[in-house]
A and B are shown apart, each in its own frame.
Chain A
Amino acid sequence: MQLDSARGLKRALIETVLTPFVSVGPQVKILAVPAGPVAGVSPVQPSIAVGIGRKAGHEFQIAVRCQRRELMTGKEVEQIRRKAKNEVDVRYIGPVSKRAAPWTQLRHRPLQIGISTGHVKVTAGTLGAFVRKRGGTDPHILSNNHVLANENRAKTGDAIIQAGTYDGGADPADRIAALAGMARLRKTEPNAVDAAIGKLDDALEFDPRTIRGLGKLAGLGAAFVDEGTEVAKLGRTTGLTRGRVTAFELDNVVVTFDIGPLRFDGQIEIEGADDGPFSRGGDSGSLIVEANTRLAVALLFAGTEAGGENDQGLTYANPLRSVLDALKVDLVAE
């Protein structure tokens, strides 16, 4: 058949014969999803995939790929054969599964920098660092407001879990902390930080210094972070990445949140150092350190899909000293 006919038939087959597979089946998890409310992630099919293959020359046919052997002789494939007048190439490809989850998306005890976490109603973000309230002794975890406090909507005491909901975590089995404070996100005036803390549950072990694959966190870096500074982060989605500061003291960074567009002033901008992005959705809350000294300089919270030397997007981060001052906490790095 001609290519246009094959395309039309393929669309029709998906809408008719394969409808049952689109509405049932286990939930498929996308790797890079921004930290936000869990609702709104659609369930998707396993089982039968339909596409277009070349038969010979300019002749095309419907390509059918089955993940289970019994589907090869099932009624759906039979219907497809009939509707395509047998111009079909049916193959068994075996189960297609998501690759093994990265280390950062797994459950970890003791807790470490760079692993999946979030408020129970949030998909998943990243545990940035461990902090203590000034004058206090209780350990807390640090991440973004939109990761731990669901964009102002959470209440003090709400459960924070590790791994995050999107990575299979649940309350109470995976609860690690209770929301203890946030810098409220403001809609009508510029924000400086997107940050919140959760008080760690009693007797929970944590390692406040190891940044897996990079080394030990050395402490708090200088307030001034110049253009060209080489940085690194360990995050829930893209893992350990390296980057370079492309701008600082960036004002009027208008960022899309669920609660609307919010303006941030005084931000740090970073590009990926290699071929890939420095960050993607789910990396929010990552602690950003100077790559050579491993001194902490910023808290990751947003990004774009375009821009930067490699055009893989730019990352935006709050200066860490602003974050610590806003929450009245100090970094734990010993």
Chain B
Amino acid sequence: MAESHAHTLDEVRAAKSRALAVFEPLAAVVGVGITRIGDGYGLKVNLREPPPSDTRLPTEVDGVPVRLEVVGQPRKQ
């Protein structure tokens, strides 16, 4: 477990480029971005549908916390 501290934008940007590679084999990812978590920044990973119940998804990438959200399929409007 990484030590809890507020992450800077640069730290989160660095983790973001790894997050897609980490999550894509596990779930249908339709967005990996930056959001605020606690006092600092964290990663937001959007999923098209809920992951299978037996899939354990990471709660952090390189020590940066991750917020998961099931958002459905993005469509042009």
Contacts and interface: CB of A to CB of B under 8 A. Distances in A.
Interface string B33-77: 111100001001010100000000000000000000111111111
Contacts of B41: 227
Contacts of B75: 34, 255-256, 281, 302-304
Contacts of A302: 74-77
A252 B20 contact: yes
Interface stretch (A21-29, A85-93, A130-138, A241-249): A241-249
A103 interface: no
B6 interface: no
A249 B34 contact: yes
A247 B33 contact: yes
Given A256-B75, A303-B74, A304-B71, A228 B36 contact: yes
A279 B77 contact: yes
Contacts of A280: 77
Q: Is the interface of B mostly helix, strand, loop or mixed?
A: strand
B72 A305 contact: yes
A316 B32 CA distance: 13
B71 A306 contact: yes
A35 interface: yes
A254 B46 CA distance: 10
Contacts, number: 110
A314 B77 contact: no
B7 interface: no
Given A247-B34, A253-B30, A301 B76 contact: yes
Interface in A248-306: 248-258, 267, 269, 279-284, 300-306
B12 to A, nearest CB: 9
Contact of B77 (A228, A281, A307): A281
Contacts of B31: 247, 250-254, 267, 269, 316
B29 interface: yes
Contacts of B32: 250-252
A306 B76 contact: no
Interface of B: 13, 16, 20, 29-36, 41, 44, 46, 48, 69-77
For the complex of A and B, list the 10 residue pairs with the smallest distance between their C-beta atoms, beginning with the closest.
A250-B33, A307-B71, A247-B33, A306-B72, A284-B77, A247-B44, A227-B36, A304-B72, A247-B35, A256-B75
Interface of A: 34-36, 125, 144, 146, 194, 226-228, 237, 246-258, 267, 269, 279-284, 300-307, 313-316
11 contacts: A34-B76, A247-B44, A249-B34, A250-B44, A251-B20, A252-B20, A253-B30, A304-B72, A304-B74, A313-B72, A314-B46
